[in-house]
Amino acid sequence: MPVEFISAVHTAPGVNGPAASARTGFDPDYVRRYARALDDGGFDHTLVAYHSASPDALQLAQFVATHTERIRPILAHRPGVIFPTHAARALATLDQISDGRLSLHIISGGSDEEQRREGDYLDKTERYERSDEYIRILRKVWTADGPVSHEGKYFRFEGYHSDVQPVNGLIPVSVGGSSQDAYRVGGQPGDIFGLWGESLKGRREQIAAVNTVAD
């Protein structure tokens, strides 16, 4: 099994995590140098984190892609903030800009308080249901030959068509979490399940739980 190295984008010197990023600000020159150092240093991926107060993750991922040649940005994305048809088009555009290097990490949301800062009052189970529907809509739009319509529990639209598609037809989607809902979404519409660097025993149990429900 190949080993790949993942870092995370920091938006200013001394930043530690998205909440700190919001307080410290955004230093474009620092981000440029940091991203290039990762690219030159052989890292395979870099996570562009999401927080309600942080620099906009979509624009930051584009900035990283523009100033690097090889590293693959992993864009953390929160369903519900942007309508899925808009997101599908924006993500496909970014994938074109990055020459097919983009990956997407879906953030269903573990904190009710943080979710409500952006007007999201769904409970955790509902948020994972919405993420499932959201991912399926993204894929439907990316692979469609013509207009797409959808009527689901959380989203509804008619006759949508995007003129831009991902470089390779689809963008890899990862999901994380430690609940049965997270395992289901990660194992079915998701391509990748993200794990923290914790005990091997705990990781084996999570992997087994995801595989149990995987398509």
Residue 19 lies in a domain: yes
Q: Specify the amino acid at residue 59.
A: Q
Tens-digit pLDDT string for the chain (215 aa): 688 999 999 888 875 555 554 455 789 999 999 999 999 999 999 999 999 999 999 999 999 999 999 999 999 999 999 999 999 999 999 999 999 999 999 999 989 999 999 999 999 999 999 999 999 999 999 999 999 999 999 999 999 999 999 999 999 999 988 888 888 888 888 888 888 777 888 878 888 878 888 77
Domain count, the chain: 1
- 1 inside domain: no
Tokens standing for residue 199: 């005990």
User: Three-class SS of residue 117?
Assistant: coil
pTM of the predicted model over 0.85? yes
* First-to-last C-alpha distance (Å) of the chain: 21
- Which residues span the domain enclosing 53? 6-213
Q: What are phi and psi of 153, to 5 degrees?
A: -70, -35
Q: Residue 78 and residue 88: Cα distance in Å, rounded?
A: 13
The verdict on residue 84 lying in a domain is yes
- Residue 175's nearest CA partner among 135, 120, 115, 122 is 135
CATH number at residue 165: 3.20.20.30
**CB 162, CB 105: distance < 8 Å:** no
Strands 148-151 vs 103-106: parallel, antiparallel or unpaired: unpaired
Q: Does residue 106 lie in a domain region? A: yes
